[in-house]
Amino acid sequence: MWLADGWTDYEVIDCSRGEKLERWGDYLLIRPDPQIIWDTSRRHAGWSRPDGHYHRSSKGGGQWEFFHLPEQWNIRYRSLTFQLKPFSFKHTGLFPEQAANWDWFSSLIRQADRPVKVLNLFAYTGGATLAAAAAGAAVTHVDASKGMVGWAKENARVSGLENAPIRWLVDDCIKFTERELRRGNHYDAIIMDPPSYGRGPRGEVWKIEDAIHPLVRSCARLLSDRPLFFLINSYTTGLAPSVLSYLLALEVQRRFGGELEAGELGLPVTESGLVLPCGASGRWSLR
């Protein structure tokens, strides 16, 4: 398991009965998590005085209950600053466990000792984009949501990266990849964090089990002659980390050699000393 244990502004304090108690900077949130199937005593005082609590509905979805939570606030990770705000379906605009991947590829970029072009697909609010740019890469950030790209730009601004070589694109990731192939463009590294299910701008259905392999195959063709890394993230329940590495073995390692890794991402839990699993990643690098 790859542990995101470099945070000072974020902490999983405790987890029990389907929920986790988290500290996001100065604020405590309680949010549901399907991985938390154990029932333990809730001794920490934060359980009884959170600043925000997302209540899951038995009919699906849910809603926030706010106590002392501002509309927006910031937290930092190393040199990066992220703007947070609670929005629908329990999210805050950041997945802290991804810091384990940020540290991994940031080290590769810094050690490359050459210009590195990174393509970040399904790029959300820009955590990976900012980490790559801070490490010295030129990044193409692609997401279908105009609002998310705008949010990512704000994160770049508050991180002091507003003038970094980042190309911000609101686009369908599959169609963008197809156009880049026709243009003959190439990248030294690719990051993708595809959703489990979604719809394109014209109602096209995305289902990760059906669409991920063709997308990885297309992206492998976008790699330069000296690629640096390829990272796939997934939060799809039941999709094993080894499946992601197998895709990379078929489409990337077979062509370039290099090293493959697969694993779960995890966050340390303060009260128990255990680790909360938070998704899967497949990593390829040319070492």
pLDDT in tens, 10-51: 999 999 999 999 999 999 999 999 999 999 999 999 999 999
β-pairing, 229-234 with 27-32?
unpaired
Q: Measured in Å, how far apart are the chain's first and last C-alpha atoms?
A: 21
SS3 call for 63 = strand
Beta bridge partners of 215: none
Encode pLDDT of 167-196 as tens digits: 999 999 999 999 999 999 999 999 999 988
Strand residue runs (E) in 33-125: 52-56, 62-66, 73-77, 80-84, 117-121
Please give the pLDDT value at position 58: 81
Please give the pLDDT value at position 238: 81
Which residues are CB-contacts of 17 (< 8 A; sequence separation ≥ 6)? 36, 38, 39, 40, 42
Encode pLDDT of 204-258 as tens digits: 777 888 899 999 999 999 999 999 999 999 998 888 999 999 999 999 999 999 9
Nearest to 127 by CA among 84, 82, 172: 82
CATH level 3 topology of 96-285: Rossmann fold (3.40.50)
Encode pLDDT of 212-221 as tens digits: 999 999 999 9
- Within the chain, residue ranges assigned H as helices are 99-112, 127-134, 146-158, 173-183, 208-221, 241-248, 254-256
Q: Round to whole Å and give the CA distance between 43 and 64.
A: 23
Residues of the chain with CATH 3.40.50.150: 96-285
Please give the pLDDT value at position 201: 62
**What phi and psi, each to the nearest 5 degrees, are found at residue 235?**
-115, 15
Q: Options 3.40.50.12780, 2.60.40.1180, 1.10.1270.20, 3.30.1330.10; which CATH number does 8-71 get?
A: 2.60.40.1180
Residues of the chain with CATH 2.60.40.1180: 8-71
β-pairing, 197-199 with 189-192?
unpaired
Mean pLDDT of 111-115: 97
Q: Round to whole Å and give the CA distance between 209 and 216.
A: 12
Burial state string for 55-83 with b = 16 or more CB within 10 A and e = fewer than 16: ebeeeeebeeeeeebeeebebebeebbbb
